[in-house]
């Protein structure tokens, strides 16, 4: 689709980067590394580009996001659920294999689906997020070309990382690709796939798997917070956010912080995000709404529907239905994020753009 808005690298700098709303997804620099690099988790212009219509602006999820048009293109229909986006089914799902269950964050479904696709030869690369070899718990985008690499990158890392850089790497070297990412990564992925102005062969990305996300943490602030509450990050085995709690699993036991106490660590760019449920993914995966050891899975596209059905048939996952009360809980969390971030969005966006966020009228009136 041809997006209605154009922008240069200077527009990207002024509207997104210097406005502190960059989400550090990697979309602006991934395909133009000679012009844009990343330093201290923000894009930095290495060389000015003189394109009046820049791919960096076109691909950025924070420059503009024509949500309804994008939904129509991806799903063939537009949402009727404001909080969760377009979907066909919402399910509770769990990986079947013991290895995945042991290493996975919740039900291990993200990893199980990627491993299933790789084992069946349906993909030759998966863009995942591994832990850095150099800095403890630092997430890094990674192209996994084997099931072992997929398994070793399971588990949630609560900092942001430019996943689209791995997508560009995979597109350059592989033919059929799956990617996993946070809502901002998924928005970027879809803008890249739908762009008619710039063809970077993004059609090679056949499966777009989203994760629920309330926020990511700034690394320096998170490290300072851990030091303040007496946690040695070298001893952390797992971080987890569920039921309003931030849990830190260490060699010495589990430390639990109220999620509100962690708000001071949130990345500034996350405060303008209006998507909890990775609304543009083929399927979205989270923990909220399902019992421990299971995932909540929102099935959205035909690709997502086929993936869940085929993986279930092959015995890679177990699936059960979700009741309306549990789904309501997911909707409440999504609504809570939208409401909380709306104030910040109102301060910086022009009013007409805000309508593109699919705002519930009562939320908007509350803030006017
Ligand atoms: C920053 C963050 C915030 C989240 N917030 C919520 C929330 O508020 N509510 C909720 O229900 N769920 C949230 N989730 C999702 C949840 O933590 C699990 O990722 C999800 O339930 C899938 O579980 P799983 O067992 O299938 O994961 P696994 O099978 O362990 O697979 C997880 C996949 O996510 C990838 N991954 C890990 N960290 C990142 C990252 N930073 N960026 C991109 N990809 C990554 C891994 O490479 C792996 O492929 C969040 C996840 C993250 C990373």
pLDDT tens profile 70-122: 999 999 999 999 999 999 999 999 999 887 888 899 999 999 999 999 999 99
Tell me if 278 sits within 8 A of 186, measured CB to CB.
Answer: yes
What is the pTM assigned to this prediction? 0.95
167 φ/ψ angles, rounded to the nearest 5 degrees: -65, -45
Tell me if 162 sits within 8 A of 255, measured CB to CB.
Answer: no
pLDDT single digits (tens) 138-162: 999 999 999 999 999 999 999 999 9
Q: Residue with the nearest Cα to atom 44 of ligand 1? A: 181
Give the pLDDT score at 342. Answer: 85
- Domain map of the chain by residue range? 9-216+266-367, 219-264
Beta pairing, strands 295-299 & 236-242 = unpaired
**CA gap 191, 18 in Å, rounded:** 21
The minimum-distance atom of ligand 1 relative to the CA of 157 is 38
**CA gap 52, 305 in Å, rounded:** 39
Q: Residue with the nearest Cα to atom 43 of ligand 1? A: 181
Question: Across residues 225-232, what is the average pLDDT?
Answer: 93
CATH topology classification for 219-264: Nuclear Transport Factor 2; Chain: A, (3.10.450)
Q: Residue with the nearest Cα to atom 15 of ligand 1? A: 286
Q: Is 131 exposed, middle or buried (0-12, 13-18, 19+ CB in 10 A)?
A: middle
Mean residue pLDDT of the chain comes to 93
Distance 109 CA to ligand 1 centre (A): 10
CB of 161 closer than 6 angstroms to any ligand 1 atom? yes
SS (H, E, C) 233-302: HHHEEEEEEECCEEEEEECCEEEEEEHHHHHHHECHHHHHCCCCCCCCCCEEEECCCCCCCCEEEEECCH
60: left (phi over 0), alpha (psi -120 to 50) or beta: beta
pLDDT single digits (tens) 166-207: 999 999 999 999 999 999 999 999 999 999 999 999 999 999
DSSP state letters, 316-339: SEEEEE--HHHHHHHHHHHHHHHH
Distance 241 CA to ligand 1 centre (A): 10
Give the pLDDT score at 333. Answer: 94
Tell me if 281 sits within 8 A of 311, measured CB to CB.
Answer: no
CB of 63 closer than 6 angstroms to any ligand 1 atom? no
CB of 284 closer than 6 angstroms to any ligand 1 atom? no
CB of 241 closer than 6 angstroms to any ligand 1 atom? yes
Which range has the worst mean pLDDT, 54-68, 157-171, 294-308?
54-68
As beta bridge partners, residue 321 has 91
pLDDT band at 356 (very low <50, low <70, confident <90, very high): low
Tell me if 315 sits within 8 A of 96, measured CB to CB.
Answer: yes
Tell me if 72 sits within 8 A of 190, measured CB to CB.
Answer: no
- Scanning the chain, the segments in alpha helix (DSSP H) are 9-11, 27-30, 55-59, 67-75, 98-103, 109-119, 147-152, 163-173, 183-194, 219-228, 302-313, 324-348, 351-355, 361-367
pLDDT band at 365 (very low <50, low <70, confident <90, very high): low
In three-state secondary structure terms, 6 is coil
Q: Residue with the nearest Cα to atom 24 of ligand 1? A: 108
The minimum-distance atom of ligand 1 relative to the CA of 287 is 11
Mutate to test the pocket of ligand 1, among 83, 93, 105 (most ligand atoms within 8 A of CB): 105
Give the pLDDT score at 242. Answer: 81
The yes-or-no verdict on residue 243 having pLDDT over 90 is: no
Tell me if 28 sits within 8 A of 56, measured CB to CB.
Answer: yes
Give the pLDDT score at 99. Answer: 78
Mutate to test the pocket of ligand 1, among 156, 164, 215, 285 (most ligand atoms within 8 A of CB): 156
CB of 225 closer than 6 angstroms to any ligand 1 atom? no
The candidate with the shortest Cα–Cα distance to 184, out of 30, 62, 266, 54, is 62
The minimum-distance atom of ligand 1 relative to the CA of 111 is 29
The yes-or-no verdict on residue 255 having pLDDT over 60 is: yes
pLDDT band at 6 (very low <50, low <70, confident <90, very high): confident
As beta bridge partners, residue 255 has 248
356 φ/ψ angles, rounded to the nearest 5 degrees: -65, -15
């Amino acid at each position: 689709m041809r997006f209605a808005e154009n922008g240069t690298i200077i527009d990207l700098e002024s509207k997104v980067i210097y406005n502190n709303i960059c989400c550090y997804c990697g979309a602006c620099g991934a395909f133009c590394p000679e012009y844009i690099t990343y330093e201290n988790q923000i894009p930095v212009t290495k060389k000015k580009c003189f394109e009046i219509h820049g791919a960096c602006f076109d691909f950025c999820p924070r420059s503009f996001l024509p949500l309804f048009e994008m939904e129509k293109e991806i799903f063939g229909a537009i949402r009727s659920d404001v909080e969760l986006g377009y979907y066909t089914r919402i399910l509770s799902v769990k990986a079947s294999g013991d290895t995945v269950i042991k290493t996975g964050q919740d039900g291990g479904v993200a990893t199980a689906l990627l491993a299933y696709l790789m084992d069946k030869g349906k993909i030759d690369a998966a863009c995942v997020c591994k832990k850095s070899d150099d800095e403890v718990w630092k997430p890094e985008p990674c192209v996994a070309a084997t099931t072992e690499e997929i398994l070793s990158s399971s588990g949630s890392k609560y900092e942001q990382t430019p996943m689209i850089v791995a997508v560009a790497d995979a597109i350059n070297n592989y033919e059929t690709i799956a990617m996993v990412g946070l809502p901002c990564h998924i928005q970027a992925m879809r803008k890249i796939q739908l762009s008619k102005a710039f063809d970077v062969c993004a059609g090679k990305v056949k499966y777009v798997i989203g994760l629920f996300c309330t926020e990511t943490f700034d690394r320096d602030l998170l490290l300072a917070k851990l030091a303040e509450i007496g946690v040695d990050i070298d001893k952390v085995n797992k971080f987890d956010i569920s039921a309003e709690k931030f849990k830190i699993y260490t060699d010495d036991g589990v430390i639990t912080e109220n999620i509100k106490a962690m708000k001071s660590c949130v990345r500034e760019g996350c405060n303008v995000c209006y998507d909890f449920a990775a609304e543009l993914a083929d399927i979205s995966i989270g923990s909220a709404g399902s019992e421990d050891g299971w995932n909540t899975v929102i099935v959205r596209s035909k690709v997502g529907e086929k993936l869940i059905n085929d993986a279930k048939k092959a015995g890679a996952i177990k699936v059960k239905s979700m009741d309306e009360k549990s789904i309501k809980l997911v909707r409440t969390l999504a609504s809570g994020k939208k409401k909380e971030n709306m104030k910040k969005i109102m301060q910086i966006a022009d009013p007409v753009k805000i309508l593109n966020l699919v705002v519930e009228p009562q939320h908007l009136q509350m803030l006017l």
